Structure 1
Amino acid sequence: MDIPVLMVVLAWFAGGFVSGASGIGGAMIALPVAALFIPIQDVIALSCILNLVMDGMITALHFRHCKVRALYPLFAGAIPGSIIGLFILQMVPGSMLQGITGILLLIFVLWQRKAAFSQKGGESWAKGGIAGFASGVLGSAISFDGPPVGAYGLYAGWAPRVFLGTLGVFFIIRASLTCVLQAGAGLYTPEVLRYAAYGLPATMLGTLCAFPFVKRINPEPFRKVLQGIIAVAAIMCIWRAWL
């Protein structure tokens, strides 16, 4: 097993564990680490495949709590956003994508720290559409579709299991659309598929290993540790973009 493959296995095992334990952050952990060894465009395409696996496993636990009506505005924005994100991925240089990835990771950490959406505003077609559009663009371009719709879910005031179930279904369908678009654009090269063959079992194992610990983890300290890891990953991405 060569070093890039080994890092894919380790990165997405960790990503699967983080997603299984917290419901978000798996790709944010795995992608910057893998990008140290693999071209960023390949890592993004790989991440979209493996995110689908992570989201599917997590959603299976919370599917019955999905708020179906809330999905309509999200998808109304996500479909055009995903198409635009694909063009961005194909046209923007890898170093710029890596820098953008780092900046967005830092923004996500700051948003978590500031609790910018602590006030509840209820559901809205306009805000849901904007969140879905941003999620579609970021998901297709850099595989980070979580922060925009996560912010909307908190703003709407969803209960935790409604939050997990609704966004879980959204992520699966949106990621499936991205995978279809990326496959049609020829982004799933033999090398990407080779990495995916190793990353899939690692992702599944990491996610499964998290389940027994979910009820035992103290959420607040874990969230702070996760924010620290993401901040370090963001700095690494920005640093490599300037090399």
Structure 2
Amino acid sequence: MLEPVSMLVFGTWLVGGFVSGVSGIGGAMVAVPVAAMFIPMHELIPLSCILNVVMDGCIACMHVRHCSRSALLPMLIGSLPGALAGLLILQYVSGPVLQGGVGALLLYYVYWQCTLKVIQPHRESWGRGGAAGFGAGLLGTAISFDGPPIGAYGLYVGWQPRVFLGTLGVFFVIRGTMTCALQAGAGFYTQNVLDYAMFGVPATMLGTLVAFPVVRHINQENFRRVLMGIIVLAGAVCLIRSFV
């Protein structure tokens, strides 16, 4: 008999996979706050990291030929110390504080999306690429949200949509695999996490793959507005629950 929490994991990451398949990022930002109402943060974050690798793997397979290979190395080098710092945060910071951090980051992400104005693209650089990688490694390992730093860097250098999806997909798969190895070594992959992953993996793959044939028929601007509204609500819920 299927447990309600397992079905919740399936449903939330089905939606999360679809969101990432359409936009490249944002899937975990939708799924994690909902699942956080039922799953402890120290189980939810490692679970989300596993499912992010699956989600990003699907995206990378579709867009890998458009990946900016010159950007990968500095981002990956920067992500290693970031991941180690994020692991320390995950080990020693309490669940309510982690949930509050998730909520604060979600709200800031929406603020950034609404106020960002890119006047002209810039050249890729080792310094900024490494800094973006460090931020992605830290946030990805600590709270499973590695998208905003790399997304900001991609907008800064002016990647085209297919380059954006391909580069983020390949980077997130490599960086996420590194995070999963660190979390596994630290003992975060309990039996509960693995059981939930059995439901989340097929849901994530299905949601991501369903997005590909329909993405061309979706009004991206309307979709973005709805997504931003959902993320604001999710961030507010996380912040409120962190104080309860």
Shorter-chain TM range is over 0.9
Is the contact made by 1:82 and 1:137 (CA closer than 8 Å) also made in structure 2? yes
Conserved? CA contact 2:24–2:168, under 8 Å:
no
Q: Are the counterparts in 2 of residues 136 and 174 from structure 1 also a CA contact under 8 Å? A: yes
Contact 1:118 / 1:155 at 8 angstroms: preserved in 2? no
CA distance in 1, matches of 2:180, 2:32: 16
Question: What is aligned with 1:80?
Answer: 81
Match in the other structure for 1:93: 94
Provide the rounded CA distance (Å) in 2 between the counterparts of 1:22 and 1:150: 11
SS in 1 for 2:217: coil
- Listed one character per residue, the Cα deviations across residues 87-145 of structure 1 (whole Å, up to 9, x for unaligned) are 10010000000000000001111111112445422211111111110100000000000
One-letter code of the match for 1:62?
A: H
Does the alignment pair 1:65 with 2:66? yes
Note closer, same or farther for the CA distance 1:123–1:206 as it changes in structure 2 (3 Å cut): same
Runs of 4+ aligned structure 1 residues displaced above 4 Å come to none
Q: Does 1:113 align with 2:114?
A: yes
User: Judging changes above 3 Å, is the alpha-carbon distance between structure 1 residues 11 and 115 closer, same or farther for their aligned structure 2 residues?
Assistant: same
- Equivalent residues of 1:66, 1:165 under 8 A apart: yes
Q: How does 1:26-45 map to 2 (within 5 A)?
A: 26-45=27-46
Matches within 5 A, 1:222-241: 222-241=223-242
Relative to the length of structure 1, the TM-score reads 0.98
One-letter identity of the residue aligned with 2:186: A
**In 2, Cα distance between equivalents of 1:20 and 1:153:** 17
- Cα separation, 2, equivalents of 1:220 and 1:109: 14
Q: CA RMSD in A?
A: 1.0
Which residue type is aligned with residue 63 of structure 1? V
* Farther-moved stretch of structure 1 (53-62 vs 199-208): 199-208
Matched residue type, 1:160 = P
Structure 1: which amino acid aligns with 2:109? F
Contact 1:117 1:151 (C-alpha < 8 Å) held by counterparts: no
Q: Which residue of 1 aligns with 2:150?
A: 149
Between the aligned partners of 1:116 and 1:148, the Cα distance in structure 2 is: 16
